[in-house]
């Protein structure tokens, strides 16, 4: 199965991403708008979920409606910055379970360092949405998805708000089965592995650290 790569083409998403890119935007607003973007991206990334028909009774008449069918869902943020996307995702899919993968990028080597992994016990049966605002070199998302696959997860979608072409290529090479949803595709990485033009350090901007 070959995954698809989707760059969001939506005026609201574009507007909100342009807003948070600005260095003048403070922590409170940055965090709120990251949540709103995650909500909109979740809407797009769930477009092809399976539905089934059910008979329902409105106050007026009986009818056949549609409800979600198929696999149950899970959201897995890559700590820390991925946490900023969880509430927005949950506002759209409130019954999803939430797992956590802790990874940070070593500032010298840019290699991901694992420090936490806690997943729903039945994650292998679920459709898993991995979320992280930033796909830069791809080291973190590639490692997180490898950890999920090692735990038996077979159906994975990855959502990021900004991506660099280098990271997208690496993800497509290493996890060709995973669908990738991108809020905006930027130009390149700089010498420190930051996305250009980007928005800076997403974790620091969400949590007000530096």
- Residue 133, marked binder: yes
Query: What are 67's two structure tokens?
Result: 């409800």
Is 201 known to be catalytic? yes
For 73, counting Cβ atoms within 10 Å of its Cβ (0-12 exposed, 13-18 middle, 19+ buried), the class is buried
Cα torsion angle, 183, 122, 96, 111, sign: negative
Is 186 known to be catalytic? no
Q: Is 193 in the site for ligand PRP (CB under 6 A)?
A: yes
Binding site for ligand URA (CB under 6 A): 81, 134, 136, 193-195, 198, 201-203
Is 87 known to be catalytic? no
Is 177 known to be catalytic? no
Question: For ligand PRP, which stretch binds (CB under 6 A), given 58-66, 67-75, 135-143, 180-188?
Answer: 135-143
Q: What is the Cα–Cα distance from 99 to 120, expressed in whole angstroms? A: 6
Among 16, 31, 80, 157, binds ligand PRP (CB under 6 A): 80
3 state SS of 53: strand
- Which is nearest to 102 in space by CA: 116, 118, 113? 116
Q: Given the rule CB under 6 A, which residues bind ligand PRP?
A: 78-81, 104-105, 110, 112, 132-141, 167, 193, 201-203
Active site residues: 105, 109, 201, 204
Annotated binding site: 80, 105, 132-140, 195, 200-202
């Amino acid at each position: 199965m070959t995954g698809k790569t989707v760059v969001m083409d939506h005026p609201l998403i574009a507007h909100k991403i342009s807003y948070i890119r600005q260095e003048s935007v403070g922590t409170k607003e940055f965090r709120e708008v990251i949540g709103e973007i995650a909500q909109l991206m979740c809407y797009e990334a769930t477009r092809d979920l399976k539905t089934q028909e059910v008979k329902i009774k409105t106050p007026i008449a009986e009818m056949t409606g549609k409800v979600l069918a198929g696999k149950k869902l899970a959201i897995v943020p890559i700590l820390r910055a991925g946490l900023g996307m969880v509430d927005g995702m949950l506002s759209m899919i409130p019954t999803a379970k939430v797992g956590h993968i802790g990874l940070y990028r070593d500032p010298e080597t840019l290699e991901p360092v694992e420090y936490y992994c806690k997943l729903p016990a039945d994650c292998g049966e679920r459709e898993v949405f991995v979320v992280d605002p930033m796909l830069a070199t791809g080291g973190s998302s590639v490692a997180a998805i490898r950890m999920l696959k090692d735990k038996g997860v077979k159906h994975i979608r990855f959502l990021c708000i900004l991506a660099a072409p280098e990271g997208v290529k690496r993800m497509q090479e290493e996890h060709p089965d995973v669908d990738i949803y991108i809020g905006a595709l930027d130009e390149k990485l700089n010498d420190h592995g930051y996305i250009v033009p980007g928005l800076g350090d997403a974790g620091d901007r969400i949590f007000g650290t530096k």
